[in-house]
Amino acid sequence: MDFNSIHQRLLAINAPGVLSADTPRAADPEDKADKGRAGEAFVLIDRSEALNFLLAVRDDAALAFDMLVDLTGTDPDAEDEDLWLNLHLLSLAHGHRLAVKAMVPKSNAVVPSMVAAHMAAHYHERECSEMFGIHFEGNPDLRNILLPDDWIGFPLRKDYEFPKEYHGVSCE
């Protein structure tokens, strides 16, 4: 299925939390500041419904997104109030993909854990939580995975400040 039919199907089965769809568009020739949007389409969902959304699209026969390929975060800008939660789903049966995005406010970065829908989410959630400071509520073991346990700050946030020293070793 292409993106439009996937989006239509999401609306037809009333998938939980679907807010809107964002597709690439050409730049508006009238407006010089507008550069358009390139790349691929994605679906925007409500972050509190992320787990229910994954379960719904996994169990629907026409969509059958049975593999969670990637789960990650994005900090678009230091001034931005929201982080993004990016999910990438793949259907082995139909061979189609879906990019999903949810806004996660930096002031309250809590998202339900998606481990109940896909075990694959577990390691990705651990990485996402240490890199962006997003808390995945319900994840059984949210220790740091790539960083040391005592690392301070969330390195992939845009306002991250590089440490001056680590355990007495200067980093400058």
Partner 1 sequence: MSEMNAPTELPKPKTVEIPETARTLPSGEREFMLDVSTSDLEINMGPQHPATHGVMRILIRTNGEVVTGGQVHLGYLHRCAEKIGENVEWLQYLPYTDRYDYLSAMNNNLGYSLAVEAVMGVEIPRRATILRTLCAELNRIGSHLVAFGTYGLDIGAFTPFFYCFREREWMMALFEKICGARLTYSYIRIGGVFNDAPVGWLKEVERFCDVFEEKWQEYYDLLAVNHIFVKRTADIGVISPEMAVDYGLTGPMLRGSGVDFDLRRDVPYMAYDEICKAGVFDIPLGTGEKGTVGDCWDRVYVRLQEMLESIKIIRWCLGVIEDGPVIGDIPKVIKVPPGEAYVGIENPRGELGHYILSDGGKVARRCRVRGPSFCNVAVLEQLLPGTFLADSVAIIGSTDVVIGETDR
- Verify binding: residue 38, partner 1, rule CB under 8 A: yes
Nearest CB to partner 1, comparing residues 48 and 144:
144
- Verify binding: residue 9, partner 1, rule CB under 8 A: no
Sort strands 135-137 and 110-112 into parallel, antiparallel or unpaired: parallel
Min dist. Cβ of residue 73 to partner 1 (A)? 9
- Verify binding: residue 147, partner 1, rule CB under 8 A: yes
DSSP label of 139: -
Among 19, 123, 153, 166, binds partner 1 (CB under 8 A): 123
d(CA 131, CA 170): 22
- Verify binding: residue 138, partner 1, rule CB under 8 A: no
- Verify binding: residue 155, partner 1, rule CB under 8 A: yes
Are residues 65 and 90 in contact, defined by beta-carbon separation less than 8 angstroms?
yes
Among 148, 152, 153, 159, binds partner 1 (CB under 8 A): 148
d(CA 22, CA 85): 15
Min dist. Cβ of residue 99 to partner 1 (A)? 6
Are residues 3 and 57 in contact, defined by beta-carbon separation less than 8 angstroms?
no
b/e per residue 39-52 (b: at least 16 CB within 10 A): eebbbebebebbbb
Among 13, 44, 145, 163, binds partner 1 (CB under 8 A): 145
Min dist. Cβ of residue 50 to partner 1 (A)? 16
